[in-house]
Amino acid sequence: MKRIVLASASPRRRELIRLISDDVLCVPSGEDETLPDGISASEVPLHLARLKAQSVAKEYPHSVVIGSDTVVILEEEILSKPESEQDAFLKLSALSGKVHRVITACCIIDGEKVRTFSEETRVEFYELSPREIEEYIKTGEPMDKAGAYGIQGRGSLFVKGITGDYFNVVGLPVARLLRELKEF
């Protein structure tokens, strides 16, 4: 099997890809993530995964390159990484007591061959008090995470239930990715 190059700077994706192979090179794409007009929230991760993979594949033409992107969507609005503690508070307050979607898309490139897919997981939060949210923000954990929470950390204490792939919410649907790589 060819060497795998993961087009990502995410420490969580770097850790998860190692469940598939120990021989993985992680290279951030540095690609401009400006979105085209009219793109729907659920199309965003596929668009960005493709951009990242194509950018890195130019540098590694003899490797299997995987680009990936994750979005948190509440009522068709993407909840990106918070820009401030106040922004994190607003995002977590919006998620309180509701079900939201987490979509991770992957783009696999090997030379001229390209394969893309996306995985969706639904996550339900308990009702959160302002104090719970403030205490969580003080940990610093939500500040670099889409939707302002990490399901693999203290953010898990807010989760009432999930429907779908847990690792998809962390940032990489590894079981599906392995199957897609085998078929690829």
Q: Which positions are catalytic?
A: 69
Is-contact 144 81, C-beta < 8 A? yes
Return the half-sphere exposure (C-beta side, CA atoms, 13 A cut-off) of residue 89: 10
Task: Give the C-alpha distances (Å, rounded to integers) separating 96 from 26, 152, 163.
Answer: 34, 18, 17
* Alpha carbons 30 and 179: distance in angstroms, whole number: 27
Query: Reduced to 3 states, what is the DSSP secondary structure of residue 102?
Result: strand
Name, in order, each residue with C-beta under 8 angstroms of 140's C-beta and a sequence gap of 6 or more: none
Sign of torsion over alpha carbons 94, 96, 99, 105: positive
Q: Which two tokens stand for residue 94?
A: 């919006």
Q: Which two tokens stand for residue 146?
A: 């889409």
